[in-house]
Amino acid sequence: MSDKLDGVIASGNAPGLQYIAADSQKILAEYAGGWASLQGKRRMDLDTTMMLYSMTKTFTAAAVLQLVEQGKVRLEDPAVNSVPDIPYGSAVLIRHLLSQTSGIPHPLPLRWVHPADEHGEFDEHAALAAVLRKNSRLDFPPGEKYRYSNISYWLLGRVIEQASGTSYEDYMRRNIFGRLGIPPADMDFVIPSRSRHAKGYIPKYSFLNLFKSLLFDSRYFGSSEGRWLHIRDHYLNGPAYGGIVASGRAVAAFLQDQLRETTVLFTSETRALSYKQQKSNGGTLLPMTLGWHIGSQNGRRYYYKEGGGGGYHSEMRIYPDKGVGTAVIGNSAAFKAGELLYMADRAFL
């Protein structure tokens, strides 16, 4: 398998990548290849951290379901009960936010970022308020259909804060990362160590680069490094929809816990709830659970979440009938994570 993954890097899909496959008890395969930094010729290794972007949403969903299990929030509660300043009234429920059926708009979020060096002064609540003012009307009645929205999961971060009485980041560190035994050096909301963090890139000769000034703030463009353009370190304005910084090994710890008979995150009943396929108001089955998307490979169902943005692309999967979880992270916005998993995961299916 390593030869095939080396070929992915050689073909120019990403400067570097990590791939990992595991069952509930052991690591079945792990790979790190290519470069974490092209300029410094720093190798990608298994402990290198990268941005997970929207893969964060499944971790956020797990936190919300913990709080549901504790009776601190209910799936049928209107979101406005927890976040009084949202403009959508009482029709949007917590369940709608989790299952991406809220009807909340989905504007392009690539500019919802701020430089890593300015994180200490960043006001997340003010940034969310500004986004809500510009996107104050629902696109369709909640529950009518599935449509992705980063705002939905940004609001779930506020729900977690209101229900737990602590910040979203601190809740996740204690109750998700901490319970899984993942140290801050391997999973957090800030870059733990610049020396262990991979640079993010976009291909220099690509649509992304050609139209980068329309998609990204010019402050985030670094230098050209061979065939790649470096994207400077940054954080998403809403950590709940895409803020986790992690290594592939840390993601594997989450997948392994999901595969075990007893998870440390919540009861077996809550785990079953988290994988229950959701329906529209009219009873149509949706390609979504309360935190996972639903896919199929050669007739085999799997649960997945991908994430991508300025400099990285990733995806993780759970194959329930095989008891296997896999994940890949590459440090290129154009890296096709899903295609790699289709190829690499065959060895375990």
The pLDDT tens digits of the residues spanning 6-34 come to: 676 666 689 999 999 999 999 999 999 99
pLDDT digits (tens, 9 = 90+) for 233-279: 999 999 999 999 999 999 999 999 999 999 999 999 999 999 999 99
pLDDT digits (tens, 9 = 90+) for 109-156: 778 999 999 999 999 999 999 999 999 999 999 999 999 999 999 999
208 — pLDDT class (breaks 50, 70, 90): low
285 — pLDDT class (breaks 50, 70, 90): very high
pLDDT digits (tens, 9 = 90+) for 74-107: 999 999 999 999 999 999 999 999 999 999 999 8
**Model confidence at 2: pLDDT above 80:** no
Q: What's the predicted TM-score (pTM) here?
A: 0.96
Kind and range of the H or E element at 30? strand 27-37
For 215, residues 6+ apart whose C-beta sits below 8 A from its C-beta are 108, 110, 111, 208
**Model confidence at 283: pLDDT above 90:** yes
Mean pLDDT of 30-59: 96
- The parent domain of residue 165 ranges over 2-348
Collapsing DSSP to helix, strand or coil, 285 comes out as strand
349 — pLDDT class (breaks 50, 70, 90): confident
- Which of the two residues, 18 and 2, has the higher pLDDT score? 18
The region of weakest confidence among 20-34, 45-59, 217-231 is 217-231
> Residue 5 half-sphere exposure, CB side, CA atoms within 13 Å?
23
**C-alpha–C-alpha distance, residues 124 and 303, integer Å:** 30
What string of H, E and C letters represents the secondary structure of 95-156? HHHHHCCCCCCCCCCCCCEEEHHHHHHCCHHHHHHHHHHHCCCCCCCCCCCCCCCHHHHHHH
**Model confidence at 303: pLDDT above 90:** yes
Q: What is the CATH number of the domain that holds 277?
A: 3.40.710.10
- Which residues are registered as beta bridge partners of 235? 114
pLDDT of amino acid 122: 96
Mean pLDDT of 170-174: 98
DSSP state of 138: -
**Model confidence at 220: pLDDT above 90:** no
- Cα dihedral 225, 231, 232, 235, rounded to 10, equals -160
**Model confidence at 197: pLDDT above 90:** yes
pLDDT of amino acid 10: 62
Q: Percent of the chain having pLDDT more than 90?
A: 84
Mean pLDDT of 60-85: 97
pLDDT of amino acid 207: 58
**C-alpha–C-alpha distance, residues 204 and 223, integer Å:** 10
Q: What angle do CA 113, 115, 121 make, to 5 degrees?
A: 95
What are the phi and psi torsion angles at 219 (to 5°)? -65, -20
DSSP state of 288: B
Domain count of the chain?
A: 1
